[in-house]
Amino acid sequence: MSSIAAILFSVLAAWALLNGLLFLAQPRMLFFPSTTLEATPRDWGLDYRDLAIHTEDGIRLHGWFIPAATTGARRVLLFFHGNAGNIAHRGASVAIFHRLGLDILLLDYRGYGRSEGAPSEAGLYRDSRAAWRWLTVDQGIAPAHIVLFGRSLGGIVAAHLAAEVQPGGLILESTFSSARDLADTLFPLLSRAIVLPFRLDAAGALHQVRCPVLVLHSPDDEIIPYALGRRLFAAAPEPKGFVVLRDGHNDGFLRSQPGYEQALDQYLASLPPDPY
């Protein structure tokens, strides 16, 4: 073997080894589930129903249905959380949506909280479909009465579901446009040398969405670059809106009060008449 061939072989072997290691490691780099529920809605002063929802591939998911404070809820919010923790860590967000007069379905993905299975990209989408079926088939709720909400990774889940069904609205908070865009932004030199095991393409999914979209993002987000939130907004169909948040990825919605809640209220009021 010539010296040039040996060098090329070594480079290719190193590339293959790097991609193999990263491919195996990336699920653990993306998903950070907690299986301990540190609170329930009752600890937040809210009534709730404890749910077991089954997916198309036989996984049992755990969730909570939190009714609005009064009868005749404004809408139903299907809430998809981020990549860490579980539904027990979403009390601050639930309180906001509860004040806005919404019924709330809060679901843990497979491998999170008390849900069975192990997380994966395909699993996220199956889990979202199971929650949608529970609302629309089991509970008989009209699709137009349901608003999908996703924060961070949950925004990817919400966007993909919205592309498949016809919800009344879609809210994406602190979400990135795609896994490739995120890799290119954070690791511009390395990203093109590695094979990504995830697509997580929210921007692509938005091309199929046919409901009003609200995107919220902070220029100070230290985890998901603001530019990717703007890219996501650019991919969304009309009618759409963009809200600039303040401060970091995990607390921006709290630091942006009361404007955050007011923006959500205005968005909900702007949705087409609800036939439910």
Q: Which of 152, 174, 177, 218 is catalytic?
A: 152
Q: Which two tokens stand for residue 248?
A: 């970091």
Q: How many CB atoms lie within 10 A of CB 261?
A: 16
Q: How many CB atoms lie within 10 A of CB 213?
A: 25
Q: Which of 128, 217, 249, 256 is catalytic?
A: 249
C-alpha–C-alpha distance, residues 149 and 77, integer Å: 7
CA 64 to chain centroid, in Å, comes to: 17
The strand ranges marked E within the chain are 32-33, 49-54, 60-66, 76-80, 84-85, 103-107, 146-151, 169-173, 213-217, 240-244
Contact 174, 152 (CB under 8 A): yes
Contact 81, 62 (CB under 8 A): no
Q: Is 221 a catalytic residue?
A: yes
- Identity at 272, one-letter amino acid code: P
C-alpha–C-alpha distance, residues 161 and 57, integer Å: 17
Is 118 in a helix, a strand, or coil?
coil
Contact 116, 61 (CB under 8 A): yes
DSSP letter at 23? H
Contact 215, 150 (CB under 8 A): no
Q: Tell me the sheet residues that pair with 105.
A: 65, 78
Contact 40, 64 (CB under 8 A): yes
Q: Just list the catalytic residues.
A: 152, 221, 249
